[in-house]
Amino acid sequence: MRNADYLEKAEGLRPVLIEEKIRIKGRDEVLQNGDEVIYDLGNHYVGHLSISFSSIGRHFDAPFYFQIQFAEIKEEFDQDVDSYDGWIARSWIQEERVHIDVLPCTYEFARRYAFRYLKIKVLSVSENYSVKIDSIDLKAVSSANDSRLTHPEFCKEDELLDKVSLRTLHNCMQEVFEDGPKRDRRLWLGDLRLQALANYETYKNNDLVKRCLYLFAGTTLEDGKLSSNIFIEPEVECDYQSMFDYALFFINVLYGYYENTGDLETLKDLEPVCVRQHEILKNCFDENDVIDLDKCDRVFIDWNFSLDKTASGQAVYIYALKDLLKIEKILKKDTKDLEEEIVRKQAAAIKMFDESKGLFVSGKERQISYASQIWMILAGVIDMNKAKEILDRLEEHKDAIKLISPYAYHHYIQALIDAGETEKAYGKMHDYWDGMIKKGCDTFWEIYDPKDPDASPYGGLAVHSFCHAWSCTPTYFLRKYFVKKQS
C-alpha cells in the first residue's frame, strides 16, 4: 500500500548531504605483483573514494590489476572472506577488484564505502613498471550538521564516549537514518527510534526524523501494517517483514518527534498510522490480555535466539500504547477504550511477576531474562522502588538470559535511569561501551558481547556493521542525564 501524499512529503524533506573532503598523501612504496599496503584514515568515514596511481619504471604496458578492501575495524582484514558462508550475503563485504588500462590515473570508485582502513593488493602489473599511490581522496558524506552540536564540558572518559557515539550517529545520518552505512544502509524503525533520541540532543536534524516517519507511513504492508524497514532505492518500498515491536515503535517515534518539535500538524497527519497499528496489533493477544506469540509477527527485542519474548513483547505493547494515549489526548480524541485496554494489559503483565523469585518470568518455561525486566520497567508496569529491586536482584540471578546487542543495552541503561539508579546506569553504560572503545573503535558496533567479543549472529565478523546506529545512544544519555557529572 502506497500513500502518495505521505511519500511526497518524505521526498520534499530529502536532505542535501554535507561533504567533507579528506586527502591522504600516498607513501613512497613502489608496488609490484603481490604487494599489499594498508592506509589508515585515522577515523571512520562514509563516502566516495578516489585514488591517484602512477607507474614508475618503463612505460606502462599492461593493465594494472588490484584488489581493494575496506574495513571499519582492522580485524576485518584478518577474516577469510572467500570461506565466509553465513546467511548474510557475502556481497556486503567491502572489496573490489579493478583493472586500470592507463596510468597515471585517478580512479573513482562508483560505490559508497564505510571505513577507516583500506588495503590495496597488487594482483598484477607487468615486468616493466611498478605502481605508486600518489594520493587518496575521500569525499565523506553525512546529513549531520556538525555546527549544530554543543560541546558540554565532559570529563575525559565521557568526552571520548560522547565522541564515538556522535561519530556513529553522524555516519549513519545520510538521506535517511541508516542502520549502518556498511550494512544494511537501510531505514529500520527500531534503529530510527534510538537515532531520533540521540539526534534531539545533538544534531537536531528534526526534519530527517520527520522524513523517516513519512517514509514508513508512505509505504505499508497490505492492511496498513508497518514494515520493520524501508528501501529507498530504486524507489521507496517497504520490506515484506513486519516486526511486532518495531511497528509499535512508530507511535513512540512520532510522539518523541512531537515532544521535541511541537509540530502538531505532523502529529495530526500521522496519527491515523498509529491508530492503524493499534487496531492490527491488538489482535495479537489472547482472551486473558496476554500476548500470543503465535499470532504475532516476530518480536525482535535483542539478537538473542534463546530469549523468550512473551514478557518483553507484552511490555513493548503497553509502552507504545501509553504514548498513543498521550497523542490521542493532545488531539482530543476519545481515549476511554484505550485507557481501559492499558489497564487490562498492565494487569496481565503484572501476573508475569513471580513473587517467589522477585522477577518477571516469560512464557511457559517461565524464563528469566534481562530483557523481560527491562521492558516491564520501561513500560511503567511497576513502580520505581520495585524496579530498582528487580534490577539489583537480576544481577544476582546468574542464569538470567543476558543482553547481547548495544540496542538491548540501551534499554537496560534507560531502565536503570527510570528506576532512579542513575549512578549505576552511568557505570553500566561506561562498562559496556568502553569495552568497544578499549578495542580501539571510532564508532560503536552492531553487535558487542563483552563475554564473547567474536560472537556473530550472522556467521562471520566480515559482514558485521561496526558503525551501527542502534549503539549510538551514550551521547543521548550523557547529554540528557549525565551532563552535570562533568569534572
Q: Which residues bind a copy of itself (CB under 8 A)?
A: 58-65, 87-92, 96-97, 99, 101-104, 111-112, 123-127, 183-184, 186, 231, 233-234, 237, 239-240
Q: From the CB of 231, what's the least distance to a copy of itself, in Å?
A: 5
**Residue 78 or 101: which CB sits closer to a copy of itself?**
101
Q: How far apart are CA 144 and CA 430, in angstroms?
A: 25
E strand segments, 28-128: 36-57, 64-71, 95-100, 105-124
Cell numbers 524496579: residue = 387
What grid cell was written down for 39? 592506509
**Residue 112 or 480: which CB sits closer to a copy of itself?**
112
Q: 200 and 206 in contact (C-beta within 8 Å)?
A: yes
Q: From the CB of 211, what's the least distance to a copy of itself, in Å?
A: 19
Q: From the CB of 118, what's the least distance to a copy of itself, in Å?
A: 15
**Residue 96 or 286: which CB sits closer to a copy of itself?**
96
Q: From the CB of 370, what's the least distance to a copy of itself, in Å?
A: 30
Q: At a CB cut-off of 8 Å and minimum separation 6, what does 285 contact? A: 291, 292, 295, 317, 345
Nearest CA to 196 out of 481, 483, 473, 478 is that of 473
**Residue 310 or 465: which CB sits closer to a copy of itself?**
465
Go through the chain and tell me how many residues it has. 487
**Residue 239 or 434: which CB sits closer to a copy of itself?**
239
Q: From the CB of 53, what's the least distance to a copy of itself, in Å?
A: 12
* Cβ-based neighbour number of residue 168 at 10 Å: 32
Q: From the CB of 3, what's the least distance to a copy of itself, in Å?
A: 18
**Residue 77 or 109: which CB sits closer to a copy of itself?**
109
Burial 344-362 (b: 16+ CB within 10 A, else e): ebbebbeebbeeeeebbbb
185 Ramachandran zone, left/alpha/beta (phi>0; psi -120 to 50):
left
